[in-house]
Amino acid sequence: MSCSRIVAGACWALLFLLLSTDVLAQVNTESMRRAEVDGFTLRFGGTLAYQQGNSDVFETDVNGRVDYRARRQYMFLNASQRFARSDGGTFRNRAFAHLRYNYEATRRLTGEVFTQIERDAFTRRRVRLLGGLGPRIRYAQTDRWHLFQGTTLMYEFESLDPTSVGDRAPDTNRVRWSNYLNLRVRLSEYASLVGTVYVQPWLSDFSNIRILHEALLSFRITRHLSFQTSFDLRYDSRPPLEVEDLDIALRQGFVLTL
């Protein structure tokens, strides 16, 4: 497989984040999908930050992924770990893994099955386990832009820190209706933009809802190195105690594609 194909796949993957909203316990899996993959590819990335002075801060974020495409089938595994300490205390400790399988039934209709596991000490989530399946619809696909919609029934198991639940049970099982709209735009040969919006109400109570908006701008520096800037906005109508219902983050970093 040529290096140019691998780089193109990485750029499309970084592109996939323009309209997504990762609600405190939500993750934009559309940003993980790679539109141009042929066979097997592997990618690693990460950021490192250190500050010393009035406060000592250390933060690291590492991630990796594997993609495989063969004719109508596409599968990817994405995993990441984020850790941060300030003045001797940990204020972020999060791990995540997502596995997804797609089968293209027709040019416009694809079936997908996925599973996901994560933990996030900052949002008091000891573990969150997901599983679901549903259709993915292609509305438009050209050399410069793509537009997709997906809708799935999603089983969710969540275990919270018992000190953060108040009078609620720490462990819950529920079914959510997950809906997303994804737009990918190729701005130039070296730049791309991706957006995804997720809306995930609880089937038995639509007022219990999570919304995710995420935007990603990516610039290719060399054949194997890219720079990316992402903006995340997350909303959870029923967050754990002492956790805000709205969370906003801006991140920058480099991605190495092999």
| pLDDT of the chain, 258 residues: tens digit per residue | 444 443 344 333 333 332 233 333 455 556 556 656 678 888 888 888 777 776 778 888 888 888 999 889 999 999 988 888 777 666 677 888 999 999 999 989 999 999 999 988 777 788 899 999 999 999 988 888 899 999 999 999 988 877 766 666 788 899 999 999 999 999 998 999 999 999 999 998 899 999 999 999 999 999 889 999 999 999 999 887 777 889 898 988 888 776
| Residue 188, φ and ψ in degrees, nearest 5 | -160, -175
Alpha-carbon distance of 67 to 93, in angstroms, equals 26
Where are the domains positioned within the chain? Answer: 3-249
Fold of the CATH domain 3-249: Porin (2.40.160)
Res 91: pLDDT:
65
Residue 71 pLDDT: 86
Sign of CA dihedral 109, 110, 111, 112: negative
* pLDDT the model gives residue 17: 30
First to last CA, the chain: 11
| pLDDT the model gives residue 1 | 45
Asked if 1 and 10 count as a contact pair (C-beta separation under 8 A), the reply is no
* Backbone conformation region of residue 32, classed left if phi is above 0, alpha if psi is from -120 to 50, else beta: alpha
DSSP 125-150: EEEEEEEEEEEEEEEEE-SSEEEEEE
